Structure 1
């Protein structure tokens, strides 16, 4: 069944499926790690309070770090999702402004034409 598809079309489809699969793997790790992080936070916070660590600044710092981890990681996950589900694969070339890409293509064509002469 796989032989029926042109190899280039199949390769593009496989890369897209791999990108989406990688995103879902990243999402799974994100969910599991953050559930464990919040469970750890609950136990650690209670332990510190029971041990008499009453420095409110430290407890606030601890809570902030536990909350910032999923927020910042979540932003990275959103970017990963946007890149995974877009139809064109991500490349540095896509980040270049159009006028630079056009200039590069003109220069390549110029040098190719010069070699033909």
Structure 2
């Protein structure tokens, strides 16, 4: 029983770290894109800031989906099912 509680605790700690990391990533994104937008509008009429904003934004969206448990590729709780499957089949 203690192993299960320890496992759940470790998963919760990992999830909190991932969410914290996402918020840090989001803050840095807004600071850097804002600075780039200022530089862009101060120097040229071509709106090149959209390219890093969209590219980085896609990565940020992916990070957010992972942090909040929305895994589009493997589905909900895929990791948990795979761990149980491997433990039961003794393929470790």
Fold in common (TM above 0.5): yes
Return the offset for 1:93: 5.8
1:90 corresponding residue in structure 2 = 80
The structure whose residues are more often helix, as a share, is: 1
2:53 corresponding residue in structure 1 = 63
What is the CA–CA distance in structure 2 between the aligned matches of 1:18 and 1:80, rounded to whole Å?
Answer: 19
**How many residue pairs align between the two structures?**
83
Return the offset for 1:94: 5.5
What is the CA–CA distance in structure 1 between the aligned matches of 2:83 and 2:10, rounded to whole Å?
Answer: 20
Return the offset for 1:67: 2.4
Structure 1 runs not aligned, ≥5 long: 1-8, 84-88, 96-100, 105-117
Q: 1:63 to 1:93 in 2, by over 3 A?
A: closer
Give the TM-score normalised by structure 1.
0.56
Residues 27 and 77, structure 1, Cα contact 8 Å, conserved in 2: yes
**Match 1:46 to one of 38, 48, 53:** 38
How much is the aligned-residue C-alpha RMSD, in angstroms? 2.9
Structure 2 runs not aligned, ≥5 long: none
1:26-54 Cα offsets, whole Å, 9 max, x none, are: 111110121111111101111122122x3
What is the CA–CA distance in structure 1 between the aligned matches of 2:9 and 2:70, rounded to whole Å?
Answer: 14
What is the CA–CA distance in structure 2 between the aligned matches of 1:93 and 1:47, rounded to whole Å?
Answer: 48
